[in-house]
Amino acid sequence: RLLVPLAEGDEPLVILPGGGEQDLDEKAWQGANLVLMKVSKDYSGLVAALARQNRLQGSFLAARVGQAGEFVTGDLEGLVGRKIDYLSLIISRKPGKE
C-alpha cells in the first residue's frame, strides 16, 4: 500500500470527479494535493496534464482498491494506452512533497 498521507498540516486537498484534462489544468488546483476519481475516461489526457504540471513523480494510480486484484503503481505513463478500470483513482501530491 502507499503509506502516503493525502495531506499534512494545512495542505489543501482537492477531490475531483473523473473529468478531463482541462479540469486538471485549472490554476486553482495546482498548489493542492489531488485525488482524481474515475480516471479511466480520459486517462492519457490526465497523465499529460500531470506531466505539464511536473506532478508525475508524486502521483500514484490505485485500481480495484479493497478488492481482489488491487493494483497500485507510481508508473502512470506506463499505463497510457492500456485499459484502466472505471473506479480507478489517482492520488497526486503537490510538487516538492513526494
* Cell numbers that stand for 62 in this block: 490505485
Q: Would you say residue 79 lies in a domain? A: yes
Cα 89 to Cα 86: distance, rounded to the nearest angstrom: 9
Cα 3 to Cα 35: distance, rounded to the nearest angstrom: 15
Q: Would you say residue 4 lies in a domain? A: no
Q: How do residues 35-90 score in pLDDT, each as one tens digit?
A: 999 999 889 999 998 998 888 998 999 999 989 989 999 999 999 999 999 889 99
Output the pTM of the full model: 0.86
98: pLDDT strictly greater than 60: no
Question: What is the structure's pLDDT at 81?
Answer: 92
Domain count of the fold of the chain: 1
First-to-last alpha carbon distance for the chain, in angstroms, is 15
24: pLDDT strictly greater than 80: no
- Residue 45 sits in a domain whose CATH number is 3.30.950.10
Q: Would you say residue 7 lies in a domain? A: no
Which residue segment(s) compose the domain that 33 sits in? 13-92
Q: Would you say residue 98 lies in a domain? A: no
